[in-house]
Structure formats: C-alpha cells, structure tokens
Amino acid sequence: MPDEAELRSELVRVAQALDRAGFCPSKSGNVSVRWRDGLLITPTGLPYARMRPEDVIELDLFGEKQAGALDPSSEWPLHSGVYKARPDAEAIVHTHSPMATALSCARIGIPPFHYMIAICGGPGIRCAEYATFGSQQLADGAVKALWDRKAALLANHGLIAIGSTLEGARVIAAEVENLATQYLALLQAGIEPTPLGEAELRRIAEKFESYGKAG
C-alpha cells in the first residue's frame, strides 16, 4: 500500500493531468483518495498547476480536517458520501469535462452503444438527479446513480468516476468523456445508436477481467 507521501504526490499528478486535459475549467472538479479512516482531497480555489503535495487536505469521513492549512474542496460531502457507501472505491475523480458536462445539462445518460462502456461497470452510464453543488443531496444522488457502476453523470454539473486507484479513476473519467463525445456526435447527426445487448456486454465484461494481464 502506498504511504501518505506517495498518495499525496499521485493525487497532485492526477489532478494536474485532468487539468491539462481540459477537464477542470476555472479550477473546477476535485480529486480524492481513501486514506486511513478518511480521505485526502484537493483544496478549494487553488489552481491545479500550482498545487503541491503539502496542499492536499486530510479529512475524516464527516468532513473534520485532520491536516492541511487550506480549506478542502466544497465537494467533500460528495466524496465522503461515496466512500461511505462504496467500500470498493479507493479513489474518486470529479470533473467538469466538456462533453460529459454537456450531456449532464441535458440530464441524459449514456447508453451502451460502444463496448468501452463496460469499463464503467455496467450497461450504460446513468445521470443523477440535479442537486446544488456541495450539498448532501448531491452526494446522495451520486451514490444512487453509481449503484453497481464506476461512473455517473451529475445533472447540470459534470461527472464522477471511482476506481481502485487514483490512476484507475482518472482513466474511467477520461473514457466517459470520450464516450460522451462520440454519443453527442451521433445525436448531432440525428442518428440513434444501436445499443449492445446484455449478453454481449457480459462477454465484454468477462474479457475486461483479464485484459492487459500477463500469464
């Protein structure tokens, strides 16, 4: 298991990678990782390019600061709520990436039109009901939309992705943005995509279990 210094450095690396990809305009979005009985999370209002490992905030799962000079992201209830509900979530990425956010503003999810949707854990990506940012209602809605999934859209807001590692959560968030781009292109062309069937999605999920693993 990585130590705290390694996790802080990795969290900053992932946050800065998301920012460089254009997923966090105007200092939006946030990243966290489970740590001890709580979490490490990006601070609020600090440009990602200037962020250092020592700027990362440690919280318990009830939002009490354990370490850090800055204030935590205003979305800490979203992260805390997911960690409480999902023992399998070790890291969370929340972004305002352009295409996923556009779909979230239409309050529609992404159907299983491409096999890569299986990386998100199930047949389709749901869109959670709208709630004010930073609220417990947003956290509750995200938990519901993430049921048996690894990603969800947040209505009129953005997306959330969970992973067993920080890099894993980042990869899922990036793939959701890619899928959202493709789906919007189809909708713009007036084409309704043909969804993959449940049996095929199960086969794909099984293949993903061993994908990239040697021996």
Name the DSSP letter for residue 190. T
Tell me how far apart the alpha carbons of residues 80 and 136 are, in angstroms, rounded to a whole number. 10
Whole-model pTM: value is 0.95
φ/ψ region of 95 (left if φ > 0, alpha if ψ in -120 to 50, else beta) reads beta
The full set of domains in the chain, from first to last, is 4-210 (3.40.225.10)
Instruction: Work out the pLDDT band at 215, boundaries 50, 70, 90.
Output: very low
Mean pLDDT of 166-184: 98
pLDDT tens column, 91-133 = 999 999 999 999 999 999 999 999 999 999 989 999 999 999 9
Tell me how far apart the alpha carbons of residues 122 and 151 are, in angstroms, rounded to a whole number. 9
Instruction: Work out the pLDDT band at 214, boundaries 50, 70, 90.
Output: very low
Name the DSSP letter for residue 125. B
**CA dist 80 → 83, 116, 119, 136, 150 (Å):** 5, 28, 23, 10, 16
Task: Give the length of the chain.
Answer: 215
DSSP labels, 17-32 = HHHHTT-SGGG--EEE
Instruction: Give the catalytic positions in this structure.
Output: 75
Q: How many percent of the chain have pLDDT more than 90? A: 91
Instruction: Work out the pLDDT band at 211, boundaries 50, 70, 90.
Output: low
